[in-house]
Amino acid sequence: MDKLSLDKHISRQFNSDLEGLKTDLLEMGGLVENQIADAIRCFEELDTDIAQRVIDNEDTIDELEVTIDEQCTLVLAKRHPAASDLRMVLAVAKAVRDLERMADEAQKVALMAIALAEDGAPARNYPELQNIGNGVLAMLRHALDAFARYDVEMALSVVKDDQAVDLEYKAALRELISQMTKNPSSISKVMNVLWAVRSLERIGDHARNLAEHLIYLVKGKDVRHVSLSEMEKQVHQ
Amino acid sequence: MSMNEQYASAVGGANELKEGRSMEAYTDLAGTDHAEVSKDRTREKTVGKPLLESAKMSTRNVKVFYDDKQVLFDVNLDIGANEVIAMIGPSGCGKSTFLRCLNRMNDTIDSCRVEGDLTLDGQNIYDPKLDVVPLRARVGMVFQKPNPFPKSIYDNVAYGPRIHGLVDHRAELDEVVETSLKRAGLWEEVKDRLHQPGTGLSGGQQQRLCIARTIAVSPEVILMDEPCSALDPIATARIEELIAELSENFTIAIVTHSMQQAARVSSRTAYFHLGKLIEVNDTEVVFTNPQHKLTEAYITGRFG
């Protein structure tokens, strides 16, 4: 099935425990992906209904985080996993935390959309937000694909994309600051956009974390806090 | 087994026992497909770090045969002073056979032949001129099943120092017995009944008594062959705690079927498979990111 052979244990129950962790992680990832997509949409259209839905769905994601964490604890307690199995459980436990934080950030974007709508701001395209939003959505999708296929190359591409998003974020900041300087009366509205853009950028950081957890899972190498070139070197060693 | 034979196996006595332990040695080989072993004799290098810059015990190209069946293939391994090294692997992989080479316990099996270089502090332990009795006092052994002599607790511990002539008078012997029992973590439990039989103790206490008996002759290396497999978790925890304390003064090599135990007590782990030493690495590497796929398969329970 995969190069980690998670389905090759003597104990079939252990196989299904680990499979279950992965399936649940990917399911949670799918939900978070929807949340982010909805958050971006509600912001563009200043649609408070969608925004409210994003806020309501947040509970489901919190519950999933707790459930998957519990499953990880149980596997640790019952199976004493070692080597790649141990890394699998640790990577999943860390990944759900990042997913939950991403959903938190999506919720913040939705809250900013509501604030803007209540402020009577016109629905208009926010190109900065759209670019970054699409960028981080793709990062999350790729990070989840990397988990599904244990694909370290794809994980590396997510890290690369994060650098591009960071650059866009800086450009967006400059643009928003110049808008505020030109038109001080717009400051409160532009600040809402700025918070939303910042939340999206944070989502990108969490997607990068997911990619790093996946590299740890597959390669057993801890690549947090290292440069991209160092990461590539370690992965291809 | 007579008492002397038991003693020979425990702390190195004059009697070369010809049977007794041999059955166990063969049971350990049961399940190995010998045809498969002999088919695949290509020399594969052990992955990881089997060799050290300075070693207490060194083994090079160790081969072991039972009659014409080869059960160990070119094992190269160093054991460092004051380290705890764990040997793991499926039944029949040769780990116990290897352990028993380290104090020539395999001499007691007629059909067993050992080849290669094995040294203790640079001295060849298979030198024909070498007397195995002092060797086994320097390299002591603790077995799977606690095997105290049918004697008093005191005499169990005092036996080795007495026959090896390590003490001159009673007071000195008392002191050795007390120190050994204290080091084995048994003193508080038995100090008021030293002259009651050792066989009247619980399993965990008996095993600590055997450890006290082993350390009473001040060995340099202690070999442990599944010392906790007959003990409950509390007694096991005590022995593991003891292993950590003893490693300050002794070099310890332990064979265990419990991988968690290997992970807990050792600083290096050696993985054997079908008579070959597959991987030796720091224990933390072996249990988080082993380098050989066979090691990974074994410690994660992937053998069908």
- A4, A85, A219, best to mutate vs chain B, most B CBs in 10 Å: A85
Using only C-alpha atoms, what is the Rg of chain B? 19
Residue B247 CB neighbour total at 10 angstroms: 17
Which residues of chain A neighbour B287 with C-beta distances below 8 Å?
Answer: 82-83, 86
- Comparing CA positions, the residue from B135, B97, B130 lying closest to residue B114 is B97
Which residues of chain B neighbour A220 with C-beta distances below 8 Å?
Answer: 288-289
Cα nearest neighbour of A217 on chain B: B289
Residues of B with CB under 8 A from a CB of A: 259-260, 263, 287-290, 295-297, 299-304
Which residues of chain A neighbour B301 with C-beta distances below 8 Å?
Answer: 9-11, 14
Which residues of chain A neighbour B299 with C-beta distances below 8 Å?
Answer: 82-83
Q: Give the distance from residue A236's alpha carbon to the nearest chain B alpha carbon, in angstroms.
A: 15
On whether any CB of chain B is under 8 Å from the CB of A81, the answer is: yes
Fold topology of A2-236: Methane Monooxygenase Hydroxylase; Chain G, domain 1 (1.20.58)
Edge-to-edge strand list for the sheet holding B57-66 = B69-79, B57-66, B112-120, B123-124
Q: Helices B3-11 and B153-163, interaxial angle, to 10°? A: 70
Q: List the Cα angle B266/B267/B272 in 5-degree steps.
A: 70
The residues, any chain, with a CB within 8 Å of residue A159's CB and separated by 6 or more, are A208, A211, A212, A228, A231
Edge-to-edge strand list for the sheet holding B251-255 = B47-48, B276-282, B268-273, B84-88, B251-255, B221-225, B139-142
Burial of A215 (0-12, 13-18, 19+ CB in 10 A): buried
| β-bridge mates for residue B77, sequence order | B59
Is-contact B204 B234, C-beta < 8 A? yes
Alpha carbons B250 and B243: distance in angstroms, whole number: 9
Q: Could you tell me the mean pLDDT of each successive run of 10 residues in chain B, 304 residues long?
A: 50 42 35 41 79 96 96 97 97 95 94 96 96 94 94 96 90 96 94 96 95 95 94 90 93 96 97 97 96 94 75
| β-bridge mates for residue B302, sequence order | none
Q: Which two tokens stand for residue A117?
A: 């709508």
Alpha carbons A115 and A125: distance in angstroms, whole number: 16
DSSP letter, residue B152: B
What pLDDT is attached to residue A123?
A: 73
Look at B289 and A82 and tell me if their CB atoms are within 8 Å. no
User: Which of B287, B303, B304 has the CB atom closest to A83's CB atom?
Assistant: B287
Look at B302 and A81 and tell me if their CB atoms are within 8 Å. no
Residue A134 CB neighbour total at 10 angstroms: 14
Cα nearest neighbour of A5 on chain B: B302
Look at A85 and B300 and tell me if their CB atoms are within 8 Å. yes
- Comparing CA positions, the residue from A141, A166, A142, A135 lying closest to residue A156 is A142
What pLDDT is attached to residue B170?
A: 93
Look at A86 and B288 and tell me if their CB atoms are within 8 Å. yes
Q: Give the distance from residue A134's alpha carbon to the nearest chain B alpha carbon, in angstroms.
A: 36
Look at A82 and B303 and tell me if their CB atoms are within 8 Å. no
Q: Give the distance from residue B296's alpha carbon to the nearest chain A alpha carbon, in angstroms.
A: 7
Low-confidence ranges of chain A (pLDDT < 70): 1-3
Is-contact B17 B5, C-beta < 8 A? yes
Look at B301 and A87 and tell me if their CB atoms are within 8 Å. no
Domain ranges of chain A: 2-236
Is-contact A208 B277, C-beta < 8 A? no
Coil, strand or helix: which one is B13? coil
The residues, any chain, with a CB within 8 Å of residue B106's CB and separated by 6 or more, are B25, B64, B97, B100, B112, B114
User: Which of A82, A84, A87 has the CB atom closest to B259's CB atom?
Assistant: A82
Is-contact B208 B239, C-beta < 8 A? yes
Indicate the pTM of the whole model.
0.83
Which residues of chain B neighbour A84 with C-beta distances below 8 Å?
Answer: 296, 300
Is-contact B71 B275, C-beta < 8 A? yes
Reported as type and span, the H/E element at residue A159 is helix A152-182
Look at B299 and A82 and tell me if their CB atoms are within 8 Å. yes
Look at A86 and B263 and tell me if their CB atoms are within 8 Å. no
What pLDDT is attached to residue B19?
A: 36
Residues B59-63: contacts with CB within 8 Å, 24+ apart? B59/B98, B59/B101, B59/B102, B59/B116, B59/B117, B59/B118, B59/B119, B60/B116, B60/B117, B60/B118, B61/B115, B61/B116, B61/B117, B62/B98, B62/B101, B62/B114, B62/B115, B62/B116, B62/B117, B62/B118, B63/B114, B63/B115, B63/B116
- B278, B284, B302, B303, best to mutate vs chain A, most A CBs in 10 Å: B302
Q: Give the distance from residue B264's alpha carbon to the nearest chain A alpha carbon, in angstroms.
A: 12
- pLDDT, one tens digit per residue, over B16-25 is 333 333 333 3
Beta strand B84-88 pairing with B268-273: parallel
